[in-house]
Structure 1
Amino acid sequence: MTTTTPNSEWQFLQCFGERIPGEEIQEADIISAVEFDHDGMHLATGDRGGRVVLFERVSPEVQQPRSAAFEYRYMTEFQSHEPEFDYLKSLEIEEKINMVRWCRSSNNMRMLLSTNDKTAKLWKVYEKKVTSLANFNVKQPSSALPGRPLVNALQCPRLDALQLPVVTSTEVLLAARCKRVFANAHTYHINSISENSDGETFLSADDLRINMWNLEI
């Protein structure tokens, strides 16, 4: 008994970073790595300039009525790797991201691994609240006059004119922090990294060696 399956068709859904016609492509902007997380809710890309850019899936309630079934929006980006130079081998190590891997995490905290030719890094992406205040009692002068003490230049109000600072705005921003650096263990270029199922260790491999690391999260 034979079964027939309908022909699969590829459909274009979304594009990030559209160029202006005639615009020259910079080498640092060329994407070198792409990785979805375990449930497809987040997407990470790495480029030849050492940057990692993160996207998140838009919930169906927020999507436009005629938008695609899956839609992603920009979250944040950070500089993962910088160019280095190995003085012992007289070798220049470029910042290009070879691979990005998401790690399993919880508590609205996202962890991911990124690697170039020699060094793998563990990154923590988290939400950070930034609060802006106003109505300070001491006003900082725009510029202190030469020879004038800074204490005397500050305008201090009277005791009966003291007021409490007021919170004007609070916004939540995404920040990235490097938790650990895994280096000096590969003679040849790293071509693959993979998180183990235990969520505590990962593997990094070059042409001749495979190393196991402990994330120590």
Structure 2
Amino acid sequence: MTMNGAAAPERSPPASPPPLVQAQAPPSPSPTQPLEWRFSQVFGERSAGEEVQDVDIISAIEFNKSGHHLATGDRGGRVVLFERTDVKDHASRKDAEKADYSISRHPEFRYKTEFQSHEPEFDYLKSLEIEEKINQIKWCQATNCALFLLSTNDKTIKFWKVQEKKVKKVSEMNLDRSTAPTNGSPGGTGYLRPSLSNGNVLKPGGLPLLRLPVVTTQETSLAASCRRVYAHAHDYHINSISNNSDGETFISADDLRINLWNLEISNQSFNIIDVKPTNMEDLTEVITSAEFHPTHCNTLAYSSSKGSIRLVDLRQSALCDNHSQM
């Protein structure tokens, strides 16, 4: 009862707290399975016990920009080309990317062609034997269904063009092969003459059917031709080459110098980096590699035997004495 005699409202009993639910710890992760690497394709695999020749040892390998072609070079001076078979040439870029990153399939390559890039030489001025081993291969921009690449050994750089050549033949001659004479013509086919095989003169309107010769493609072969030879520009062994993104120039580097070349000019190069000291006794480092920037044609980087990488801007000066060190 309240003070004014009114009945007090009854209070509902407090709600019982919800039962405590003990949080369960997440299951412990299973131990990570080690990655298992398997060969998707093997080219040139040797049988057990078969001796490997020194000239067959691969010394250089390089994919082209699209990844559809692969080039390898060996100590015998040979360059072998492979092409990808699981991506159609007319497929869109989106389809190609799906094929590249698909988990269920892997890229497949097949042998395309091979050619002899370099031969052993002898430098009579220095009494030095120059071996044919391929030090590096670089792909250049492809044009008109032809492949272009640079290959180098210790002293000489070569610019190669690989293109399909179609062998054509004239067929479906005008006269019937069963009755017309061959007269020593290739393929046993005859040609139109004013007289028949029995000596009679062909009368007007006597030829029942006039057929025009047709040129057909019999077979297709790959041919590699050397377009340029860049030589006599390095006193030391060439360790790297790199083509520029402008599609017109490339660099070659040896232990002490880096030269700039134009693809169309083989008898002239420009020395852009020279680390050779006046006194060779003061030499403390050598150039180990050089590479152009993939998109900026004015920027290149080169590394040294001290473990440093130097960036160079070709716009600053013709001789790149200044650099940024990493």
Q: Aligned equivalents of 2:109 and 2:183: distance in 1?
A: 45
Aligned to 2:113: 76
Aligned to 1:56: 83
Residue of structure 2 aligned with 1:121, choices 155, 158, 164: 158
TM-aligned CA distance change 1:159 to 1:20, over 3 Å: farther
Asked whether the equivalents of residues 166 and 217 of structure 2 are also in contact (C-alpha less than 8 Å), the reply is: no
Aligned to 1:185: 233
Structure 1 residue 173: deviation in Å?
1.1
1:31 aligns with 2:58: yes
Equivalent residue pairs, number: 194
Larger radius of gyration: 2
Q: Aligned equivalents of 2:139 and 2:240: distance in 1?
A: 13
Structure 1 residue 172: deviation in Å?
1.3
Aligned to 1:197: 245
Q: Aligned equivalents of 1:17 and 1:132: distance in 2?
A: 36
Aligned to 1:109: 146
TM-aligned CA distance change 1:25 to 1:168, over 3 Å: same
Aligned to 1:173: 221
Aligned to 1:151: none
Residue of structure 2 aligned with 1:209, choices 257, 262, 282: 257
Asked whether the equivalents of residues 13 and 68 of structure 1 are also in contact (C-alpha less than 8 Å), the reply is: no
Q: Aligned equivalents of 1:203 and 1:7: distance in 2?
A: 42
Structure 1 residue 132: deviation in Å?
5.0
Residue of structure 1 aligned with 2:122, choices 71, 80, 85: 85
Q: Aligned equivalents of 2:160 and 2:78: distance in 1?
A: 12
Gaps in structure 1 of 5+ consecutive residues: 1-5, 62-66, 141-157
TM-aligned CA distance change 1:169 to 1:215, over 3 Å: closer
Letter of the 1:14 partner, please give it: Q
Match of 2:167, SS state, is: strand
Structure 1 residue 107: deviation in Å?
1.8
TM-aligned CA distance change 1:200 to 1:7, over 3 Å: farther
TM-aligned CA distance change 1:88 to 1:139, over 3 Å: same
Aligned to 2:278: none
Q: Which has the higher contact order (CA 8 A, sep 6+)?
A: 1
Match of 1:28, SS state, is: helix
Structure 1 residue 109: deviation in Å?
1.1
Q: Aligned equivalents of 2:35 and 2:65: distance in 1?
A: 24
Q: Aligned equivalents of 1:132 and 1:126: distance in 2?
A: 19
CA shift digits 1:105-130 (9 cap, x unpaired)? 22211100000000000000111011
Match of 2:41, SS state, is: coil
Structure 1 residue 21: deviation in Å?
2.3
Aligned to 1:64: none
CA shift digits 1:174-217 (9 cap, x unpaired)? 11000000000000000000001111000000000000100029
CA shift digits 1:3-43 (9 cap, x unpaired)? xxx98664421100122222211111110000000011100
Asked whether the equivalents of residues 72 and 79 of structure 2 are also in contact (C-alpha less than 8 Å), the reply is: yes
Q: Aligned equivalents of 1:15 and 1:32: distance in 2?
A: 17
Structure (1 or 2) with the greater strand fraction: 1
Q: Aligned equivalents of 2:196 and 2:215: distance in 1?
A: 19
Residue of structure 2 aligned with 1:139, choices 184, 198, 201: 184
% identical aligned pairs:
66
Q: Aligned equivalents of 2:34 and 2:149: distance in 1?
A: 36
Letter of the 1:184 partner, please give it: H
Match of 1:15, SS state, is: coil
Asked whether the equivalents of residues 86 and 92 of structure 1 are also in contact (C-alpha less than 8 Å), the reply is: yes
Higher deviation after alignment, 117-126 or 14-23: 14-23
CA shift digits 1:118-167 (9 cap, x unpaired)? 00000001110113568994439xxxxxxxxxxxxxxxxx96468x9886
Q: Aligned equivalents of 2:139 and 2:129: distance in 1?
A: 27
CA shift digits 1:59-104 (9 cap, x unpaired)? 257xxxxx95110000000000000000000100000000000001
